Amino acid sequence: MSVNISKVEVFSFENEKITFDHFKGNVLLIVNVASKCGFTKQYKGLQNLQNKYESKGFKVLGFPCNDFGNQEPGQLEEIKKFCSISYGANFQLFQKVHAKGKTTEPFTTLNKVSPAGDVEWNFEKFLINRNGEAIARFKSSVEPESIEITKAIENLLD
């Protein structure tokens, strides 16, 4: 089941309210990120994806989340600095959110994507097409540069 997120409101890194309409025309990979997780090394792969496909209209959007094992306790500025220094990651980060239980956007809406349900851990990934429809969901263990994700991105960029 695809879910349209175009009108979903989120808060940018600068704490400005925006909707995903802001990104219309781009293919997006939305990820709940954490700096102290076993999957944190995926920051590098996420940045590599953005570097590889950005010129074709692809963006990675990271939403820091402290819901799983308190693995994202820091403030936004230190999270951004950590990502940049440790992994060379400079893709767009947003305000911290909740991804399970009493969730906040974008996960309140994204959790309806098949298989529906709360995000289960850090670095779960949602692929959004150019029309703002969430069309695929990838569990934390699926590496950003896996064939499964890169083929799905390439299909949407063609």
Active-site annotation, residues: 37
Which run of H or E residues covers position 110?
helix 107-110
In this structure, the number of other CB atoms found within 10 A of the CB of residue 122 comes to 26
Cα separation, 49 vs 17, in Å, equals 26
Cα separation, 156 vs 149, in Å, equals 11
Q: 3-class DSSP state for residue 45?
A: helix
Q: How far, in Å, are 131, 137, 154, 156 from residue 148 at the CA level?
A: 21, 11, 10, 13
Residues 6+ away with beta carbon under 8 Å from 50: 58, 59, 60, 91
How many residues comprise the chain?
158
